[in-house]
Copies of this chain bind each other. A is one copy, B any other.
Amino acid sequence: MEMLTRRGFFWQSFEIYGGISGFFDYGPLGNVLRRKIEDIWRKHFVTMEKAVEIDTPTVCIEDVFVASGHVSHFTDVAIECEKCGKVFRADHYIKEVLGIEIDSSVETIGEIIESYDLKCECGGKFRLFHFNLMFSTKIGPGKGKRGYLRPETAQGIFIDFKRLLEFCRQKLPFGIAQIGRAYRNEISPRQGVIRLREFNQAELEYFVNPKDKFHPNFRKYEDVVVRLLDKRERLHELTLKKAVDEGVICHELMAYFIGKTREFLIEVGIDEGRLRFRQHRDDERAHYAIDCWDAEVLTSYGWIEVVGIADRTDYDLKKHAEHSGEDLRVFVQYEEPLKVKRRKIIPNMRKLGPAYRDKAKVISERLSEVEVDGEVEFVVVNVEGEEIEIPREFFEIKEVEEEIHGEKIFPHVIEPSFGLDRITYAVLEHCFDKDFVDGEERRVLRLRRWIAPIPVAVLPLLSREPFTSKAKIIAEMLRRDGIYTDYDDSGSIGRRYRRFDEIGTPFCITVDHQTFEDETVTVRDRDTTRQIRVKVDELSSVLRELLESERDITEFGEIFRD
């Protein structure tokens, strides 16, 4: 952490005012790293899924979260000392003080406090209460309107469902993504960047027909072997296809997103050996999900959740339809029209006319709408508030066959939800390494080449002319060719190499004596510290190929020793 702060990845927010837990700043390198991870996410979960991305406000009106259930359910149980006023998150406090892992229902906690006679340090008694984890605010002056900072980006998608359905031409399945800030007013966050009150989420809401939880590209991942810890804590190592066939994973679509998530995490630099998928136990699952698998990675904080993949069913759309009065269903066409037999009433106008006069037409219309199961003696219709009993003689009953082409349904939604801050942090931990170079210990950040914040640095061997001018010209050339390049001439060349090793720069270019003889420079590989010589006018294209792949530098030139 100290190195990450010193090198400009991130640091605690509001440092000069003493800081406050749960908030972190991205420094220049951390910001680039997270944005690169975001872009790779967008490639996988938006472009390749043919999904679309939207961007909705972080401040939302209360109605949204009343409907979604967050106003009533998005809470932690807190205990407050009646004497000194200190507040703790109950389950964390009990774990710390008594070493007991508990589920976090108020009943359990109340019992434990009573049976262990738990009291505050100051001697005060504890009061239990539900603490809502949404930040609340007021929109507008005067009484205003209550608003909350969104606890997830997903709700912005659900409430826009009707517009998005139209944009996607009314056809399931389709995916809608959102990347942005979300907030959780934690009671007392203590795990550095791992438990943030303001964080960055990337979520995909993939809407499907509930009968159709498949994905056309599942083949791509079906033979991939994953580590699965199911809700009964049994560990499985098997292919995704087998996991579906054996019922470990509930359906193909869930398995597809597990495979895709794994692929994404490895591409940004998560170590596969420290990755597993864990199914939520029944008592920990969010109120809106019927099944949920977390991608967890092993870090110095233990196993931490970095992705949650939930089957939220039609929970959200139904709730919002109910609360808003809007029809949020989709018309789904049957593969073949259904033929349905019905017993319908056929009014006999010739008899109705004389008997009911000016009401006959309305009665006839009402009668046509009526369906009957078997035989009846009369039918009651409602004409402008008046119930009229129509005897059997005024109509026929006929059996008809009708074609039904489809029906309106609430789609289900599968949601892969990514915590970008935790992923960024875990990547840094997994890529951090130490080794020995020339008998000295070296700290090196083995970031995958395409996410390194500074992919290339140009260094003059000596910090004087003509080395410095030449190095600046080469750095400028690389920038013009679209390669983000740093330049550094401060300190010995060895110290500079170490500095760039520490921030994960994959390639250092050195301008040395030979450069002035044959227009070549050395390219040094961060991981092996090997160097090759490359002609200046081939440098951009060599670097581009190296940065997009994981090819060895020795493919581009012979090993050179300084």
Contact = CB atoms under 8 A, between A and B. Distances in A.
Given A27-B167, A141-B187, A34 B17 contact: no
6 contacts: A13-B60, A17-B64, A17-B324, A22-B139, A27-B54, A135-B139
Contact of A188 (B31, B140, B149, B197): B140
A139 B28 CA distance: 26
A139 B14 contact: no
Interface of A: 5, 8, 11, 13-17, 20, 22-28, 30-32, 34, 47, 52-61, 63-64, 78, 80, 85-87, 131, 135-143, 145, 147, 149, 156, 159-160, 162-164, 167, 169, 181, 183, 185-188, 197-198, 320, 323-324, 326, 479, 484, 490
B185 A140 contact: yes
B16 A320 contact: yes
Contacts of A27: 54, 160, 163-164, 167
B16 A31 contact: no
A202 to B, nearest CB: 13
Contacts of A164: 27-28
In the assembly, how many copies of this chain are there?
2
Contact of A159 (B17, B24, B32): B17
Contacts of A54: 25-28, 31
A54 B26 CA distance: 6
A324 B16 CA distance: 6
Given A25-B55, A28-B52, A145 B20 contact: yes
A26 B153 CA distance: 13
Contact of A163 (B15, B56, B57, B59): B15
B137 A85 contact: no
A455 to B, nearest CB: 13
Most buried by B among A8, A27, A28, A479: A28
Closest 3 pairs between A and B when the two form their complex, measured CB to CB: A28-B52, A16-B324, A26-B55
Given A16-B162, A28-B54, A54-B26, A78 B141 contact: yes
A181 B58 contact: yes
A462 to B, nearest CB: 19
A185 B147 CA distance: 11
Contacts of A61: 14, 17, 20
Contacts of A147: 135
Contacts of A198: 57-59
Contact of A85 (B11, B13, B57, B143): B143
A153 to B, nearest CB: 12
A64 B137 contact: no
A91 B145 CA distance: 23
Contacts of A80: 141-142
A324 B19 CA distance: 11
A464 B47 CA distance: 26
B131 A141 contact: yes
A46 to B, nearest CB: 10
A323 B320 CA distance: 47
A369 B24 CA distance: 43
Nearest to A21: B140
Contacts of A131: 141
A186 B139 CA distance: 8
A163 B197 contact: no
B149 A64 contact: no
A14 B59 contact: no
A63 B149 contact: no
A109 to B, nearest CB: 15
Contacts of A28: 52-54, 164, 167
